[in-house]
Structure 1
Amino acid sequence: MLKTSCPALDIDPWTQDNLIDPYPGWSLMRDAGPVVYLSRYDIYALPRYSPVRSALSNWQDFSSANGALLTEEMNQATAGMTLHTDPPEHQQLRGVLRRPLTHDGIEELEDDLRTQAETLVELLIRKGTFEGVNELAEYLPMAVVSRQVGLPEEGRTNMLAWSDATGDTGGPMNDRFHAALPMIQEALAYSYDPTLPSRLKPGGWAQRLWDAAEVGDLPLSKCPTMLMDYWGPALGTTVAAISWTVWQFSRHPDQWTQIRRNPALLPNAILESVRLESPLAHLSRTATRDLEIDGIMIPAGSRVLMMFGSANRDDRKFDEPERFDIHRRTIGHMGFGFGEHTCIGQSLARLQMKLLFGALLERVTRFEVNDFTPAVNNMLHGVERMQVTLHTH
């Protein structure tokens, strides 16, 4: 194949304007080529669907072992997360991490999640109008899931702030990165506190990490940073997914009406929302050798950006990709990642959304959203605030 030079773009995807409205920049990058070189940051980016999917299937060439964040400083600070490992170590750590997230483990939470969802919906209907992110989207992740992790109260109340800070320090060293550093330092100090294991909730997910280390299933040194796999991007992405889904239903009331008539459409509608507004915008890998994608060379040692959000809006894969369509065949979308590092908590996130919107289906005829403000975060694509009114007639 004839080798071509890599398109170089002098754009900054991490400006405030581009984080609030990333879609024009993503489109520009997809049009430029299957690989683009972001000269301001000396990184290569994969903005199209097929190259991202292929790269995520090939951990040998696109390695996570040197970290999945954009800066070496943060990759070193959070070394030990499953996010920063390749097989076979990755399977060992992931196997321990996912024990409470198996089908049986999640099934044990379903009754509690359903009860909490129904109670919340009843409360919000009585209020009528409320702040949608804090009062709706954050509720189940914080009321149920954070409790299952089993941190002492001071840790539990900070989990969401730590998650947001993880997103900001997952990007380049801009102002948001530096503003979030103290929060990450606080989180790491908390996780590495030698007294923490004695204060964990017995039987909680965190306690089970130390239990696994005690029987030799993982090194004890891995436990503190593996805590970040429970409160890191996973918590914030679930909140973002719920928020964006409310937003989509407010903009497409006809599709909400269709789901009310046929609730079997709800699971696919959730997947379509996650595809369209992928809560995790990107992660990165390191090229382990000189690589070629569609005739474009990526030098060994380069950091390569896997652009999930852009890939999920690629018209080479999805017909009219910027349209919200609850009937779309969503198989293959990468809103939960793909390959070895597919989101370990996606089943739990999907269950929370199914139960929450299932409870809303029974009572709510229409969502009205005002004062909608997207979040500005270097890695997480979420919502800062939105005023929601629930209509029941």
Structure 2
Amino acid sequence: MIVHDVPVGIPVSDADPFADDVLEEPAPLQAELRDAGPVVFLRRYGVYGLARYEEVHAALTDWQRLQSGAGVGLSNFRYERPWRPPSLLLEADPPRHDAPRAVLSRILVPRALRRLREAWFADAEALVDEVLAEREFDAVERIARAFPLRVFPDAVGLGPDGRENLLPYGDHAFNAFGPPNHLVEKGEPRVAELSAWVNAQCARERLAPGGFGARIWEAADKGDITHEQAPLVVRSLLTAGVDTTVHGLGAVLYAFAADPGQWRRLREDPSLARVAFDEAVRWQSPVQTFFRTAVGEVEIGGTVIPDGAKVLMFLGAANRDPRRWEDPDVFDLSRDPSAHVGFGMGVHQCVGQHVARLEAEAVLTALARRVERFELAGPPRRHLNNTLRAWESLPMRVHPA
């Protein structure tokens, strides 16, 4: 453990937000940090932590003074070499960020998703029919992982082979935003292999005509982005477009197993499917943390953060801040969760969030027609990741309608 100099007049925590026990259950530390003050110095890593909603929301939208271009993880790209070429979406700021973001925004417009809607709802019906042939199953393996890997790579234009590589690649990418701990070490033996596979899928010739990936390359042909940027934009889509949706689906399925009353509400009104997904993202926050880097001296909550310092935003803590949310630890379909920060905010807000919502709506609508209630058939098991909050296993028993 490296001991960093402590700034004067600021609450200090010696806790490790990336320790296994905290990743397993972050709520106690999150509450401690929220109660300590608007800014807390995390001595172990020498970073400034924000755990309250107001400060996290403000930091997410202040790209001018809190940059993403120096990395959205603990590593500081001003001084350290990234393990892969930085993401043009997550790890770049305007103006470098603008053209890739604009291209993806045009490709993922609601009109394009409406064209996918019928096919994805049919795919969800087929998957649910397969799964419900059994009364007990692992909801992570059979639904939360299976559906995104079934429909999203198709939409991007990937072939059928090798899709299973997307999850371990994404898992390592999100682990790498944290410190170089055992979770990062676990993924390192396969980094070269998985990176090579993902990079190969981003090439124009590997992508089916008409898909999101081919349209990114068409944007390069028009000059909207460069041909050098095109594969990096495709890679960003593949890196961020699967794991987060998988864990969001796991969160909402767990929520309904834990509270049958909320499932009855959804069955009575299936139009609540998207609200349910957003409320699960608020409640469980599949993306728990992201970093920014101060540009010049930045004042937050009465604390002056020095130039070049890393700022750790606890998205999961903000999404359960009682200063912003009533009964924040409760999953509640009567809540309007739309202001949650689970998809970020500002210019770096998740460009694919509507894709994730459509996937969740398709799955939940198919389940609502066929399942009277869920219940856990055994102890659920967490999958630990430095950035993501995820389930490894959700043994589920269903009672058909």
| Same fold, judged at TM 0.5 (above) | yes
Q: Give the counterpart of 2:338 among 323, 327, 331.
A: 331
Distance 1:110 1:192, change over 3 A: closer
Aligned-partner residue type, residue 254 of structure 1: G
SS of aligned partner of 2:328 = coil
Q: 2: distance between equivalents of 1:47 and 1:195?
A: 36
Please show how residues 86-235 of structure 1 align to structure 2 within 5 Å. 86-193=93-200, 196-235=203-242
Evaluate the alpha carbon distance shift between residue 74 and residue 186 of structure 1 in structure 2; reply closer, same or farther with a 3 A threshold. farther
Counterpart-to-counterpart distance in 1, 2:365 and 2:202: 41
Tell me, yes or no, if the aligned pair for 1:286 and 1:302 is still in contact at 8 Å. Answer: yes
In the alignment, which residue of structure 2 is the partner of 1:25?
29
Q: Is the 8 A contact 2:73 2:291 kept in 1?
A: yes
Q: 1:353 aligns with which of 354, 360, 373?
A: 360
SS in 1 for 2:132: helix
Deviation at 1:193, TM superposition (A): 4.9
Matched residue of 1:274: which SS? Answer: helix
- Aligned partner of 1:377 in structure 2 is 385
SS in 2 for 1:65: coil
Equivalent residue number for residue 318 of structure 1: 325
In the aligned structure 2, how far is the partner of 1:94 from the partner of 1:291? 26
Q: Map 1:251-266; keep pairs closer than 5 Å.
A: 251-266=258-273
| CA deviation profile, 1:351-370 (whole Å, cap 9, x unmatched) | 11112111111111110112
State the shift of 1:33 in Å. Answer: 1.1
- 2:67 maps to what in 1? 63
* CA root-mean-square deviation: 2.0
1:44–1:303 contact (8 Å) kept in structure 2: yes
User: What's the counterpart of residue 45 of structure 1?
Assistant: 49
Change over 3 Å in CA distance of 1:129–1:321 after alignment to 2: same
Q: After superposing the two structures, state which structure 1 stretch, 202-211 or 247-256, moved more.
A: 202-211
Separation in 2 of the partners of 1:188 and 1:362? 40
Amino acid paired to 2:380: F
Distance 1:263 1:248 in 2: 16
Distance 1:327 1:290 in 2: 41
Deviation track 1:48-102 (CA, whole Å, cap 9, x = no partner) reads 1000111112111111121212224574623243111112222211111233311
* DSSP 3-state at the match of 1:79: coil
Of all paired residues, the percent bearing the same amino acid is 36
C-alpha separation between the residues in 1 aligned to 2:262 and 2:169? 35
Secondary structure of the structure 1 residue equivalent to 2:228: helix
Q: Using the alignment, how far apart are the partners of 1:230 and 1:245 within structure 2?
A: 23
Alpha-carbon shift at residue 192 of structure 1 (Å): 4.6
CA contact (8 A) 1:169 1:181 kept: no
2:244 is the alignment partner of 1:237: yes
Structure 2 partner of 1:14: 18
Displacement of 1:276 after TM fit?
Answer: 0.4
Distance of 1:29 and 1:195 partners within structure 2: 41
Is contact 1:188–1:225 with CA below 8 Å preserved after alignment? no
Distance 1:196 1:361, change over 3 A: same
Q: 1:75 to 1:5 in 2, by over 3 A?
A: farther
1:148 match: secondary structure = helix
Deviation at 1:227, TM superposition (A): 2.6
- From 278, 283, 292, the equivalent of 2:290 is 283
Report the number of matched residues.
Answer: 391
**More moved, 231-240 vs 273-282:** 231-240
- Give the 3-state SS of the residue equivalent to 1:71 in structure 2: coil
> How many angstroms apart in 2 are the aligned matches of 1:81 and 1:187?
20
Residues 176-208 of structure 1: CA deviation (Å, up to 9, x unaligned) = 112223444334334555994323222332233
Contact in 1 for aligned 2:202/2:213 (Cα 8 Å): no
**Residues 80-89 or 43-52, more deviating:** 80-89
Q: TM-score, normalised by structure 2?
A: 0.92
The verdict on how the C-alpha distance between 1:193 and 1:110 changes in structure 2, with shifts beyond 3 A counting, is closer
